[in-house]
Amino acid sequence: MHNSCAESVALVSRLAAMVSDLTGVDVVVAPPYTALTAVAAVLTASSIGLAAQNVFWEERGAFTGEIAPAMLKDAGCRYVIIGHSERRQYFQETDETVNRRLKAALKASLIPIVCIGETLAEREAEKTFAVIERQAREGLNDLSLDEIGRVIAAYEPVWAIGTGKTATPDQAQEVHKFIRKLVAQLFSKEVADRMRILYGGSVKADNIDQLMAQTDIDGALVGGASLKADDFARIVRFRV
């Protein structure tokens, strides 16, 4: 919940100019709902994709405050974030509702970025893998091979979001490897090998290189560092 329309447009305009020559990396921004249309207009001539921060599972109806998939597409979105830890923490998002939102997004041909991750209490209780497996099994339940092939996963340890703490590259890699193996079990090795698994947990310009050097980390879900064009551009231009 950052930036007015004007501020969002200024930020994205600067970012677009800084990464315009970049190839081989997909960049996506997820401004607030109120800035989606304005940012979409700025990105018309850019390769940067537009995402929403959430989506509802119904196509229309009396659901005050919610946003339907078609509305997001109409605003210019190609991607949508689903199940972010803050949605789970503050707004009672569950694995079941993540699954419903995911299916609605896929039906509307949006590319979902589905977030999973454990809390500090769960990590300290050595429940990380049990939590990740439950969230993945229930969140990705009843998807076809075509549908799972369009899903982007994001591991975001809740204990490393907004705290300044970051999972070490080895800790992040361990969980990413687990997620990829789990997807292979649930669907197929081919699907798992192709799936992009992003890391999201206090990703910054000064730790992106070490994170991206890991075998199973395919990208980053960037939080606070995305609010500064210079930092975001450096993250996009990671070096391994």
Residues serving a catalytic function are: 84, 156
Cα(138)–Cα(100) distance, integer angstroms: 10
- Distance, in Å, from the CA atom of 216 to the CA atom of 18, rounded to the nearest integer, reads 27
Number of helical H runs and strand E runs in the chain:
12, 7
Positive or negative, the Cα torsion across 98, 103, 48, 23?
Answer: positive
**Amino acid occupying residue 133:** E
In sequence order, what are the residues at sequence separation of 6 or more whose Cβ sits closer than 8 angstroms to the Cβ of residue 9? 35, 38, 39, 42
Q: Of 125, 153, 140, nearest to 95 (Cα)?
A: 140
